[in-house]
Amino acid sequence: MALLIKNAKRAENLWQLLSIENTGETLVPVPSLPSGDVLVSLPLWQAARAALIARPSGRLGVCLAPADDPAQIAEDFEVFSLIAVEFPQFTDGRGYSIGRLLRERYGWRGELRAMGDVQRDQLYYLAQCGFDAFLLRTTTTQDEDRALQVALTAAADFSEAYQNSVARPQPLFRRRPLNPTAAA
What type of residue is 174?
R
- The residue-averaged pLDDT of 124-140 equals 86
63 φψ region: left (φ > 0), alpha (ψ -120 to 50), beta (else): beta
Identify the CATH assignment for 2-159 out of 3.20.20.70, 3.30.530.20, 1.10.569.10, 3.30.70.260: 3.20.20.70
Express each pLDDT in 77-131 by its tens digit. 999 999 999 999 988 999 999 999 999 999 999 999 999 998 888 888 999 999 9
Q: Buried (b) or exposed (e) across 78-93, using 16+ Cβ within 10 A?
A: eebebbbbbbeeeeee
Parse the chain into domains and list their residue ranges: 2-159
- Largest pairwise CA distance in the chain: 67
Query: Using an 8 Å Cβ cutoff, are 145 and 5 in contact?
Result: no
Residue 174 has what pLDDT?
Answer: 74
Express each pLDDT in 26-60 by its tens digit. 444 555 677 889 999 999 999 889 989 988 889 99
